[in-house]
Amino acid sequence: MSEAVMNLRSRGGRRATSWILAAIGLAIIIVAPLIGLYPVFLMKLMCFALFACAFNLMLGYVGLLSFGHAAFFGMGAYVAGHAVKVWGVTTVLGIFGGAVVAGIMGLVFGAIAIRQKGIYFAMITLALAQMVYFFCLQAPFTHGEDGIQGIPRGTILGLVDLRNSLAMYYFVAAIFLAGFLVVYRTIHSPFGQTLKGIRENEARMVSLGYPVARFKVLAFTISATLTGLAGATKAIVFQTATLTDVHWHMSGEVVLMTLIGGMGTIFGPVVGAGIIITLQNYLATMGSWVTVVMGTIFVICVLTFRRGVVGEILARLK
């Protein structure tokens, strides 16, 4: 009896903590550009944070490591860029289109790869993504090595001019928050509980009659859609979509963000993206040492710090 009360209380407490954390986060997002932080940097950070959250949905909650998420990220960017620049659709519609195309790709990739596990799944997604990379290298609409350049930022419904970097910032912030909320809701829904069940003991879920493969494909599609959303937004922010976004290094980068932040935690990927993007920004003066430092962090994380920053904090709090 008293145990149940304790449980309730602690659950209530945890909920309150989450609310406080959320409020602090929101305040930071609103204030950040006003206190002199470089908006382009913040927007980049949010795009990658969303990317990492979407990726974490697969790695942290389904337990499948995809090494091909760059395909969704890059394709989202290309589709949004092409739609806005060449077809002249509105910015919002362009970004939406990028996300949808990435989602459809996710469905196809998922259908091919989902029956595999562990290393097999990682390698198959990697190879499929490489296929997309070579497609983007050759396809006329991506402009190969040149990339799509000079993508107009446009307006929101003709009302807000996104060339203003503060307006653009709050637009990106809104997309990030919406995406983050989708991830949060997915994890805390019965669907998310089922996913965790699959991660812990797949055989049991199968015997309980769950259509496990279908669940996984659905999760993969959600993850791909949100990744496409992040990529499409990045294309509008930087006004370019290039091969960098589809290259497998990008897939590796998002794994690193998730790993260092803490996989399977809600805020971990955001923290991870923050660390990596900041690092890239400050180490930028050091040439290729960026790659070396990222590699070193990777190795250290894998050898000694597998829970990541947020995971480690949560473990200490318990």
Partner 1 sequence: MRLTKLALATTALVGLATGAAQAEISDGVIKIGVLNDRSGLYADLSGEGSVVAARMAVEDFGGDLQVEILSADHQNKPDVGSSIARQWIDQDGVDLIIDVPTSSVALAVQQVTSDTDTAFISSGAATTALTNDQCAPTFVHWTYDTYALSVGTGKAVVEQGGDSWFFLTADYAFGHQLEADTKRVVEENGGQVVGQVRHPLSTTDFSSFLLQAQSSGAKVIGLANAGGDTTNAIKQANSFGIVQGGQQLAALLGFITDVHALGLDVAQGLTLTTGFYWDRTDESREFSERFGERMNGQMPTMVHAGVYSAVAHYLKAAAEIDDDGGKAVVDQMKTVPVNDFFAENGEIRADGRMIHDMYLVQVKTPEESEKPWDYYNILATIPAAEAFQPLEQSTCSLVTN
Partner 2 sequence: MQTILGIPAPLLFGQLLIGLINGAFYALLSLGLAVIFGVLNVINFAHGALYMMGAFVGWFLLTHLGIGYWPALVLAPLVVGAIGIVIERTMLSRLYDLDHLYGLLLTFGLALIIEGLFINYYGVSGQPYAPPQALQGGYNLGFMFLPAYRGWVIVASLIVCFGTWLLIERTQLGAYLRAAVERPELVRAFGINVPLMMTLTYGFAVALAGFAGILAAPVYTVSPIMGQNLIIVVFAIVVIGGLGSILGSIVTGLGIGLVEGLTRTFWPEASSTVVFVIMAIVLILRPHGLFGRPRE
Cβ count near 40 (within 10 Å): 14
> Which of 127, 174, 178, 284 lies at the binding interface for partner 2 (CB under 8 A)?
127
> Which of 149, 193, 278, 296 lies at the binding interface for partner 2 (CB under 8 A)?
296
User: Apex CA 242: angle with CA 140 and CA 259, to 5°?
Assistant: 135
Which range binds partner 2 by CB under 8 A, 74-82, 180-188, 275-283, 284-292?
Answer: 284-292
Print the binding letters for residues 279-318 with partner 1: x by CB under 8 A, - otherwise: -xx--xxxxx-x----------------------------
Nearer to partner 2, 65 or 168 (CB): 65
Query: What are the backbone dihedrals phi and psi of residue 91, each rounded to the nearest 5 degrees, phi first?
Result: -60, -45
Print the binding letters for residues 204-243 with partner 2: x by CB under 8 A, - otherwise: ----------------------------------------
Shortest distance (Å) from residue 137 CB to partner 2? 8
Shortest distance (Å) from residue 145 CB to partner 1? 4
Cβ count near 3 (within 10 Å): 7
Give 34: exposed, middle or buried? Use CB within 10 Å, 0-12, 13-18, 19+. Answer: exposed
Print the binding letters for residues 35-54 with partner 1: x by CB under 8 A, - otherwise: ---x-x--------------
Residues 6+ apart with CB under 8 A from 268: 56, 60, 258, 261, 262, 308, 309, 310, 311
> What does R_g of the chain's alpha carbons equal in angstroms?
20
Give, rounded to a whole angstrom, the gap between the first and last alpha carbons of the chain.
Answer: 22
Shortest distance (Å) from residue 291 CB to partner 1? 10
Q: State the DSSP H helix or E strand holding residue 160, giving kind and residue range, or none if neither.
A: strand 160-161
Nearer to partner 1, 218 or 237 (CB): 237
Handedness of CA 39, 45, 48, 49 (dihedral sign): negative
Query: What are the backbone dihedrals phi and psi of residue 148, each rounded to the nearest 5 degrees, phi first?
Result: -90, 120
- Cα 275 to Cα 254, 281, 308, distances in angstroms: 12, 10, 11
Which range binds partner 1 by CB under 8 A, 53-61, 113-121, 141-149, 200-208?
Answer: 141-149
Shortest distance (Å) from residue 120 CB to partner 2? 7
> Which of 90, 116, 239, 281 lies at the binding interface for partner 2 (CB under 8 A)?
116
The closest of 77, 54, 125 to 244, measured between CA atoms, is 77
Which range binds partner 1 by CB under 8 A, 17-25, 118-126, 239-247, 303-311?
Answer: 239-247
Identify the bridge partners of residue 155 per DSSP, sorted by sequence position. 161
Q: Give the interface with partner 2 as residue ranges (CB under 8 A).
A: 65, 67, 112-113, 115-116, 118-120, 122-124, 126-128, 130-131, 134-135, 137-138, 248, 252, 255-256, 259, 287-292, 294-299, 301-303, 306
Q: Give the interface with partner 1 as residue ranges (CB under 8 A).
A: 38, 40, 137, 144-147, 149-150, 238-240, 242-245, 280-281, 284-288, 290
